[in-house]
Structure 1
Amino acid sequence: MISQHLREQQIREEAADWAVRLSQGDPDPATAEALARWCQADPRHPEALAFAQATWDALGQLADEPAASDPPRRRGPRQTARPTTRSRRRWRWASGVAALLLVTVLGVDVGRPLLLPLLADHASGTGEVRRVTLPDGSEVELDSRSAIDVLYSDGERRVRLLAGEACFSVAPMGGDERRPFVVESAGGTTRALGTRFLVGERGHGAWVGVLEHSVAVNLEGVPGERVLSEGQSARYDRTQGIQPLLGLDLQRASSWRRGVLVFDRVPLAEVAEQLNRYRTRRLVITDARLARREVSGVFRLDILDEALDTLTHELHAQRLDVPGATFLY
């Protein structure tokens, strides 16, 4: 039986191959049918293909970037690069090889952070909470290691969440602004019916929480939509559909916006997972009993190392710091 790791690698290889094939132009009917079968065969296939295509496009666009000595230019609407010359074809081939290596050898989890500066219009670094103002006046707060792509058009204001978590404060429709505001993530969309909401990655899916007014959540391939009101939240993915998140405290879940992380009787393993989003040195819990210990507290993002000192003392744990990691046991 094929291992989970080998299966994930096989999916990435197949996705990279499809991305290269599709970059050559519109597929013939047989190829389109084969692609449809492949996408339907596993819920992970469409996500892997989308990432491989984004990688291909981003690397291809590097050929169009000005040299360091060139005067800056405004960035126009993003378009898929097309090979028009022999040098461009060579570049696209090199890009395809690079994309294949990054997606199959490094994998999505490692390759994506390296490529986010290429794929994203706006991205935040490790430990950084960043505020972005969009062209229509809407504001986005990016959590640590988060990224978005802004895809505004005449028909809608679309933002694609590429990684992490973000809070959207939407400029309402009215006057000259008639376009709906839509956030795309993990095969689903969240359409603003009000002003402020959260969208974040969760495994192979995403979660949505409404801080003010309401939103409409749609999942590709699932009929209908789920309307969430203020204080409500839901998660979605291609296997479970759209499911409510009961008992989630949105103020606590979005505490990173205030520069803190708040935990109330949360297992240390989950605390470590959250802290690792904000630290360059990974926190590893090596003792299973310690990992199950519950933690309550408020940790300031700007002094997480001090908070970790306090946590180690309160839990009577041992700590070992090595390059790139901190071990608690």
Structure 2
Amino acid sequence: MRGHAGHAVSRRGAAVKAALQRLADEIEVPLDVLIQALEWQVTSWSGEITEQESRSLLAWRSAREEHERAWNQVQSVSGRLSTATSASNGNALRSVRSSLPRRNALKVLGLMVGGTAALYGARESSIVQSRFAEFQTGTGETREIALSDGTRVNMNTRTAINTAFSAHERKVELVSGEIFVVSTKEADVATRPFIVQTRQGHVQPLGTRFGVRQDSRVTQVNVEQGRVLIAPANARNTAALDAGWQTRFTADDIFAVEPTPPNINAWTRGLLIVERQSLGDFLTVLGRYRSGYLRCDERAAKLVVSGSYPLADTDRVLTALELALPVRVRRLTPYWISVEAVA
């Protein structure tokens, strides 16, 4: 019996994680950000949240747009739960909130939010879920895929793609994350084009090397060699982008082109190379390669960073920042890191 119970718990945990992942994909945030929002909700439920924790919660919510999106979703789900719960059950729920240890309370909240997510929106998603994608990378992971036509696709951290090759086209669907493509030029390119499909439209290379990043509302494109054609989903016009330039586009429009920053695709070599970049922007990028929450205060964010840093060891990068800049790295937990300016 104990073995059967263990399997049941394992299946339930997997189902909750899957539901949470669907909700995270639906609102376009990483799963770990949604879990952080859940942890903050548990802290609020405890009834013992301190003034410092309240300030930290506000700072976390304002640090990134995706944090606020995750927090609002958790609040929305909690509101639906309250509306759907009778008075007696509501009292019992409040009792559970205050009496359970924080870790167990997080599990209960995950069960409720995960189950509610399955009922209230995951089924409505128009985005192909990352967890079902043909090729995926986790946090801090990169990999290279060789396609049947000889094209090479480098996948950055937290990336998911699907491929669909037919007699009429060769398509890579960028579900989430970032890729760098080294494409080949087929003899029948006119009748069998290669395209990268995103939520906002598609990019068609003409035998080239280029990068594509799928953000929540825009697609970013940079060209290292050759030329690409950009076609927003709802626009009739297309635009060509040449080597050395980058741009962004929505489903309706294409932004003005800008020179591509040097070493923008250094991640394909396992490096983050920057030249006089603000520490705030630097940590935003570095945070994609580690689980948990990485933030910096206002003074630290304005400091300037230059150098070459290994993406495979983000803790080593943080240590290097302490040595090179007037900052202190506070490790509250392995998943909660704060970089603060020192006098």
Select which of 250, 260, 279 maps to 2:271. Answer: 260
Residue 193 of structure 2 aligns with which residue?
180
> Within the alignment, does 1:316 sit opposite 2:326 as a pair?
yes
Select which of 283, 286, 299 maps to 1:275. Answer: 286
Q: In structure 2, what residue type is equivalent to 1:142?
A: M
> Within the alignment, does 1:327 sit opposite 2:333 as a pair?
no
Question: Matched residue of 2:267: which SS?
Answer: helix
> Do the aligned partners of residues 102 and 133 (structure 1) sit closer, same or farther apart at CA in structure 2, a change above 3 Å counting?
farther
> Within the alignment, does 1:290 sit opposite 2:282 as a pair?
no
How far residue 122 of structure 1 moved from its aligned partner, in angstroms, is 0.6
Select which of 172, 175, 180 maps to 1:167. Answer: 180
User: How far apart in 2 are the matches of 1:258 and 1:152?
Assistant: 28
Residue 44 of structure 1 aligns with which residue?
none
Q: In structure 2, what residue type is equivalent to 1:163?
A: S
> Do the aligned partners of residues 290 and 140 (structure 1) sit closer, same or farther apart at CA in structure 2, a change above 3 Å counting?
same
**Could you list the runs of 5+ residues in structure 1 that have no partner in the other structure?**
1-8, 14-95
User: How far apart in 1 are the matches of 2:116 and 2:329?
Assistant: 42
User: How far apart in 1 are the matches of 2:326 and 2:244?
Assistant: 37
Residue 48 of structure 1 aligns with which residue?
none
How far residue 156 of structure 1 moved from its aligned partner, in angstroms, is 0.7
Q: Is the 8 A contact 2:244 2:259 kept in 1?
A: no
Q: Which structure 2 residues correspond to residues 43-122 of structure 1 after superposition, within 5 A?
A: 99-101=118-120, 103=122, 115-118=129-132, 120-122=133-135
Q: For each residue in 1:12-47, what CA deviation from the matched residue of structure 2 results, as whole angstroms up to 9, or x when unmatched?
A: 69xxxxxxxxxxxxxxxxxxxxxxxxxxxxxxxxxx
> Do the aligned partners of residues 299 and 278 (structure 1) sit closer, same or farther apart at CA in structure 2, a change above 3 Å counting?
same
Residue 11 of structure 2 aligns with which residue?
none
Q: Is the 8 A contact 2:202 2:232 kept in 1?
A: yes
How far residue 155 of structure 1 moved from its aligned partner, in angstroms, is 1.2
**Could you list the runs of 5+ residues in structure 2 that have no partner in the other structure?**
1-22, 28-114
How far residue 315 of structure 1 moved from its aligned partner, in angstroms, is 2.2
> Within the alignment, does 1:146 sit opposite 2:159 as a pair?
yes
Residue 236 of structure 1 aligns with which residue?
249
Q: In structure 2, what residue type is equivalent to 1:187?
A: Q
Q: For each residue in 1:236-286, what CA deviation from the matched residue of structure 2 results, as whole angstroms up to 9, or x when unmatched?
A: 1146x111341322x41100011100111111111111001111243111x
> Within the alignment, does 1:307 sit opposite 2:317 as a pair?
yes
> Within the alignment, does 1:246 sit opposite 2:258 as a pair?
yes
Q: In structure 2, what residue type is equivalent to 1:244?
A: A
User: How far apart in 2 are the matches of 1:203 and 1:294?
Assistant: 27
TM-score, with structure 2 as normaliser: 0.60
Q: For each residue in 1:44-74, what CA deviation from the matched residue of structure 2 results, as whole angstroms up to 9, or x when unmatched?
A: xxxxxxxxxxxxxxxxxxxxxxxxxxxxxxx
Q: For each residue in 1:179-236, what CA deviation from the matched residue of structure 2 results, as whole angstroms up to 9, or x when unmatched?
A: 1001011221101112221111234111111122111100012121101112222111
Q: Is the 8 A contact 2:162 2:173 kept in 1?
A: yes
> Do the aligned partners of residues 222 and 258 (structure 1) sit closer, same or farther apart at CA in structure 2, a change above 3 Å counting?
same
Residue 89 of structure 1 aligns with which residue?
none
- Structure index of larger Rg: 2
Q: In structure 2, what residue type is equivalent to 1:116?
A: S
TM-score, with structure 1 as normaliser: 0.63
Residue 222 of structure 1 aligns with which residue?
235
Greater helix content? 2
User: How far apart in 2 are the matches of 1:323 and 1:122?
Assistant: 28
Question: Matched residue of 1:145: which SS?
Answer: coil
Q: Is the 8 A contact 2:182 2:209 kept in 1?
A: yes
Over the matched positions of the two proteins, sequence identity in percent amounts to 29
Q: In structure 1, what residue type is equivalent to 2:312?
A: D
How far residue 145 of structure 1 moved from its aligned partner, in angstroms, is 0.9
User: How far apart in 1 are the matches of 2:156 and 2:121?
Assistant: 24
User: How far apart in 2 are the matches of 1:102 and 1:131?
Assistant: 33
